[in-house]
Structure formats: structure tokens, C-alpha cells
Amino acid sequence: MTIIDFHNHFYPPQYIEALQSGPSNIKVSFDSENNPLLHYPGDYNIVVREHTDIDFRAGILKEAGIDKQILTFTTPGTHIESPERSVELARMVNNSFAKIMDEPQDYFTALATLPLNDPQASVVELERALNDLGFRGVMVYSNINGTALSDKCFWPLYEKANDLNAVFYIHPSFPVGVEAMTDYWLMPLVGFTFDTTLAAAKLVFSGVAEKFPRIRWVLAHLGGAIPYLAERLDRGYFAFKECRENINKPPSEYLKNFYYDTVNFDLNALKLAVDFAGAEHLVAGSDYPHQIGSLGKMVDSIEKLNISSKEKEAVYGGNASKLLEIIP
């Protein structure tokens, strides 16, 4: 059974060096083990060896029985920088990922990143990433410095992505109101999931999902609260005329076509997502190597699901393989 980890994160070493040499809006400090700490509103990431050493990481995957990872960048993203610096760093990250994909190993492919605080530059980088570098999709963030993904400034990007039949993977970023989430790690624990939920709902209600139907949307962390709240969104569609202005059917009809990674290792939550969107719309995810991630829990939680062997094969790797045209 092929296991493909859709949700995990990698920092190219050149990117870490670029943050330290500047300019950057990200503060870099170091812990007692000399690991870089990347600080941004409400959170910081501890950059351990697995974040930056691709050969070491391949050995970990072999030992864990993971066949492939879809490498993605991680928070806070390049859009926290100036637009010019964001473009520079996004190109650096994508070039690094493309080089890893070209290496003679079979453990990694990747999704590109975009300089999302410059929407027009993002169109250019999307074309370069998919047409020149061989990516099949990109990871975007749940909001871009407070601007919603549904904002009209991003519609030219979606038009191009629709033409390219691209995969758009939404990973959360620090939400508006992050100042209320700075204790108890509430920003990544609660704020992330809420912001993914908000982003997905607005993409549907704004008409983006309907207008650009060839984009395949994937939501991190089991979609936040989308499987749980979809019925409430549908009630809003029937109750409020504003919720019907841009779409022709209830929100759940669009959201059931989204994909959901399994980075919620609770069996009841996973069952709810299967009941909502079907096993054919779940992709395995670990959130490795962040502190809150786990390769083992990714595998074990899917194994415990009361679904058929064929459906488990799809969740473990088949769905991701089809989405990104990966040859097992």
C-alpha cells in the first residue's frame, strides 16, 4: 500500500540563510540546541534538522515506511516580506524544491509557493512553477496579511490556475485578531483551524469555487471546522439572500468537492470528514516535522478508520497520486 504524506513542511537551507542575512520581517533567534526559531505574530517555528536536511529526512521516511512526501513551504510564508523580497524568496524556494524533485530519489515531490502579497507577480510565478519547473500545484495561505483569498485581487491568479487545472492547497496563516491568541499556543491550535474554515467558506460564498471549477482545492487540518459546520453554511444559503448572490447551489455541494488532509488524528473527526466528503476526498497528512505533527499518528489513525481496504488505499496515497499525477 503506497503512503503519500500530503501535509508536511520543508525549509530550503538557502531560505534560512536569506532570513538571517536580511532584509526580513521575520525575527530569527536560536534555542539551546542552536536550532533557528522563526518568529511571527502569535507563533514561532523551531527549525530542526528534518526541516532542512533532505537526505536525513529521506532516511526517516524509509524507516517509517512512508513512500513519498509532497514537500510544502510553511508559515509565515514569503508574503510577510516586502513585495519585492517576497518575489525573490518565492523564486528561491521554488527553485530549491524543483532541484529536489529532479534528484535521483523517489521520496519527494512538491507544491510551489507564491509571492501572494503581489497578486500579479503570483500569476507570473504560477506559470513559471507549473510550465517551466514541473509543479502540479501550489500551497497558498488562508489569508494574505489580512486580505482574504476570495478578494477580487486574486481572481486573475485563479483564472490562470483554472486554465492550468492546478491544485491549490490552503494552509492556515496567522489570522486577523491574532493578539487574542498569543497564550497557550492558541494561534496554531485554534486560530489556524478557524482561519482555514473562514477562507473556505468565503471562497465558496464569493463564487470563486463556482467560477473557477478546474482548480482542485485541498484544505489543511481536515478542513478546520468545515465538515462540522457545512450544514450551518447551507442554512445560511437558504436564510440570507446575500449568501445566494454569487452561487447557484448550497455551499456543501462545492465543499464536498474539496479535498481534506488527515491532520486531525481523532477517529471521530476523520469519520465525520469521510461521511461528509467521502474517502475519495481525503489525503494523508502528518504535519511533519513540526512539534505538533506525527508520521506514526498519520498512519495509525487512517488504519483505524472503518472503511474498506480500497478506500484506505485511496486515503493513504491513491487520492494524492491522482491529484498530482504521481506515478506510484
Contact 117, 145 (CB under 8 A): yes
- Global pTM? 0.97
pLDDT score recorded for residue 197: 98
Residues 6 or more apart from 34 whose CB is under 8 A from it? none
How long, in residues, is the chain?
328
Tell me the pLDDT tens digit for each residue of 95-146.
999 999 998 778 999 999 999 999 999 999 999 999 999 999 999 999 999 9
Does the pLDDT at position 183 exceed 80?
A: yes
Other C-beta atoms closer than 10 Å to the C-beta of 56 total 10
DSSP calls for 241-295: GGGGSS-SS-HHHHHTTSEEE-----HHHHHHHHHHH-GGGEE----BTSTT--H
Contact 163, 212 (CB under 8 A): no
pLDDT score recorded for residue 328: 61
CATH code 3.20.20.140 for 59-324: yes
Tell me the pLDDT tens digit for each residue of 242-297.
999 999 999 999 999 999 999 999 999 999 999 999 999 999 999 999 999 999 99
Cis peptide before 23 (omega within 30 of 0): yes
Q: Percent of the chain, pLDDT > 70?
A: 100
DSSP 317: I
C-alpha 166/C-alpha 323 separation (Å) is 9
Residues 6 or more apart from 184 whose CB is under 8 A from it? none
Query: What are the CA-CA distances from residue 278 to residues 4, 101, 308 (Å)?
Result: 18, 30, 12
